[in-house]
Amino acid sequence: MKKLDHHEALQRRAFLRFNIVLAFLVFIGAVYMVVTGEYATLQERKEFEAIYNYVAIGSLVYMSVVWIGCVMSKPFWFTGSASNS
């Protein structure tokens, strides 16, 4: 893996952090829909809550994978003199 210049490294880190925030917002939205959802029948509730649960779990997994990738690859992006950011 090649070292990036400081500007590119900051852009990549910002992009990954933006992905983490978006995944968190998806998680919050799915949990909100599970908690506040109103359904006509019990069957509808089971179907939609299963979907919302998959979305919530998927967003948590995505968020953790992106965060781990961001943390573990940081030494490869920043040079020694620019690693304070």
**Given this model, what pLDDT does residue 47 score?**
94
Question: Which residue reads 């590119």 in tokens?
Answer: 8
Asked whether residue 48 is domain-assigned, the answer is: yes
On the question of pLDDT at 21 being above 90, the answer is yes
**Given this model, what pLDDT does residue 82 score?**
47
Asked whether residue 4 is domain-assigned, the answer is: no
Asked whether residue 62 is domain-assigned, the answer is: yes
User: Which structure tokens are listed for 33?
Assistant: 């829909």
∠ CA 68-15-34, rounded to 5°: 70
Asked whether residue 43 is domain-assigned, the answer is: yes
In this predicted model, what pLDDT tens digit does every residue of 25-69 receive, in sequence order?
A: 999 999 999 999 888 899 999 999 999 999 999 999 999 999 999
Q: In the chain, how many domains are there?
A: 1
Q: Which of 3-7, 14-18, 49-53 has the lowest mean pLDDT?
A: 3-7
Question: What domain range is 49 assigned to?
Answer: 23-74
- pTM for the whole thing? 0.80
Task: Give dist(CA 38, CA 40) in Å, integer.
Answer: 7
Asked whether residue 45 is domain-assigned, the answer is: yes
